[in-house]
Structure 1
Amino acid sequence: ADDVADFTLYCTGRNTGDFIKAVSLPSTLNMWTNIFKIGELQTVSWFQFLPVEPDYSATSDRSSKAEQKDALNSTVLSAYLRLQNEGFLSTWTNSFVGPWDPSQGEHNPDEKIKLWLFLSGRHSSVPEMTQPAVAKLRVVSSGLWVAPGNSEEVAAALCQALRNSLERALRGLSYARFGDVFTKYNPPTRNQNSFRRAQPTVEFVFAATEEAIFVHVIISARYMRNLSSDDIEKVLTHTPRSVGEGLPGT
């Protein structure tokens, strides 16, 4: 029970008690719940990647170093997008200095991001089918996650990768993702820019036992308003010129 609580906490910030209460909630007009089992992920091999870094000692200019770091992060994101397009379970996270401490929030990342690749079963090396996507990266760490798991960092990354996979599936159904929440997107009509209406919203809570990973799906109706041209103008008004110049249509 403690292991299940740990995994649920890593993935959602909730405890198992909240998970059980959510499961037992009666369906109402504006909320539906269901639970699904992912039976193929009791054992998961994971790999962490970072780009091959150039020799910074030859570069003294601070702006040049910043550009090089941006280029390295772009390499990671490009590899991530390629893995996503090819259907691999993957995500990216901040690369932390020293032991991973989530309580520090944004205070201890070292400005680099790392790529995660998850594969069902036991794999001692990165499979050839993923090599084109990660050709410019190097493996910095790897391991085996066995449900319910005992690593907070791996559990958090695995949950994020699962949400990324769900995002790909829901995108085809016109759902947009906002953090960990998915909501139905309907293009606004001429007279609906400021009209608030209930939209289907989906949230996923993950929990793991020795048997499998379980996904609790919570579907509810939330009231929201589509962005209007006035909203965009307000954002651009308060956006620095250097940022605004990089926005489409500005």
Structure 2
Amino acid sequence: MNKKDSHDSLLVMLKKNIALWGVVAFLALVVAPIGFNIAEPYLKISITIGTALFVALTVSYFTNKKTAATTNYEVTELINNKFPKFLQIEQIGLEKIIYENNMEAVGVDLSEPAELFIAMNDGKNFFTNNSRKLSERFKKENRKTTIILMSPESESEEILNTRNGKQEKGYYANKIKDATKDFKEFHKDSPETNLLEIRYFSFNVSMSVVATEDIAIVGLYRNSAGKSLTPPSFVFKNNGDTGEYSNILKDVKNLVKASEVHWASSDI
């Protein structure tokens, strides 16, 4: 037996002895006085002291032993199974998963970032759910907002209409035109240093993106038509070149290069 094992064995024995003294105290100060009908207030004092010692020395020993066994299992589970996943999530910068596109409701303030990128197929629903914060943003100095939408003239617009069972011809084209009009209307009285650029992409956007200098939110689209199954969106924080945020921002900037300017406030 090495020194550590010997020390641990002595420590265990000492704890057991202390627990045993708690039982002795309980018998001597609680059971015996009751049995001998000791008069008050001495009986009450004796019972209080005996009970306190029993709880402190004996009950706590068994409680700690049970807790230690449970805790050791939980720690082992965390180390072996949970921590690697936590570290991987932290490394890619994933903050949380959300199921709505109201940015204020999930703690994202669209009015504050100096630069904002929005890439979506039509953007109509996003504008409706975030119009208040977008209005605030367009009133502030030194802001740049770049919006990339699917072109209303794109062949992908017709494909989306057919795929999603839209009977109205040009359904998504009309939504894109409406969203464009809404953004321009909200921005018309903005300061000169508040820039808005609306770009059209020749194809549909495979993932919606809302990106600032601090975070990027990537939204998926369901494969089946309809809105009954709300798709998830993934919130990534900017943690440098190692995280997914960096890839998302590069992808968005490549999308900017691949799209054409439809309207820009700087041209007015």
Tell me which structure has the larger Cα radius of gyration: 2
Which of the pair is proportionally richer in helix?
Answer: 2
Which of the pair is proportionally richer in strand?
Answer: 1
TM over 0.5: no
Q: What TM bracket, shorter-length normalisation?
A: under 0.3
